[in-house]
Homo-oligomer: A and B are copies of this chain.
């Protein structure tokens, strides 16, 4: 195989490329369902080098999950800042819109679902709690909404996860429309 004489990058740059690939591939096939080789292929490097960049598969998944929450938090924060309506409900609504835009490609959201399923792996469960904590406290402080409103915001976010994982937005039946009504999704 003739190596295409690609310039070598730094390990740090490779790491973030691999994390990007990990988000995309893990989100499609889940933690146990994706071989390291699939992520390596997506990142155009060898599986051996992925194993060199991350101590094990678990650490790679956690890194991807952390990055996923990082991006979600940034999007929500941006939504809150650019909201025209400065009332708590207005800000919450703007955050919801920003979140909807962010998860248009569904991978951030799917990764969270897969993380829930793999939460019995201690490190993954801990990363998940970290991420939810960051989102929750951020939503509360940025919006100034009541605890009940923040809880509702998160609850409808979870409903959104259900809709996307089951593809309910493409089911034309009445019961499906009942569940998807008013939920912003791509």
Give chain A interface residues in 136-171, CB to chain B under 8 Å. 136-137, 140, 147-148, 150-152, 154-156, 158-159, 161-162, 165-168, 171
Partner-binding segment picked from A15-23, A63-71, A91-99, A127-135? A127-135
A117 contacts which of B114, B125, B128 (Cβ < 8 Å)? B114
Whether the pair B137, A175 counts as a contact (CB closer than 8 A) is: yes
CA distance A151 to B181 in the complex (A): 8
* A179–B114 alpha-carbon span in the complex (Å): 20
Chain B residues whose CB sits within 8 angstroms of the CB of A13 once the complex forms: none
Q: Contacts of A161 on B, CB cut-off 8 Å?
A: 116, 158
The 0/1 profile, CB within 8 Å of B marked 1, for residues 27-47 of chain A is 011101100000000000000
- Set B114, B120, B162: member contacting A132, Cβ < 8 A: B162
Q: Is A118 close to B, CB under 8 A?
A: yes
8 Å CB contact of A125 from B28, B155, B167, B182: B167
Q: Which of B30, B119, B173 contacts A166 (CB 8 A)?
A: B119
Question: A113 on the interface (CB 8 Å rule)?
Answer: yes
A178 within 8 A of B: yes
**With a CB–CB cut-off of 8 A, which chain B residues contact A167?**
119, 125, 129
Question: Does B28 lie within 8 Å of A147, measured CB to CB?
Answer: no
| A178 to B, closest residue via Cβ | B147
Name A's B-contacting residues (CB within 8 A). 28-30, 32-33, 113-114, 116-120, 125, 128-129, 132-133, 136-137, 140, 147-148, 150-152, 154-156, 158-159, 161-162, 165-168, 171, 173, 175-176, 178-179, 181-182
User: 28 A-B contacts, Cβ less than 8 Å apart?
Assistant: A28-B120, A29-B120, A32-B32, A33-B118, A113-B117, A116-B116, A116-B162, A116-B165, A117-B117, A117-B165, A119-B166, A119-B167, A125-B166, A125-B167, A129-B171, A133-B173, A133-B175, A136-B178, A136-B179, A137-B175, A140-B175, A147-B178, A147-B181, A148-B181, A150-B178, A151-B179, A151-B182, A154-B159
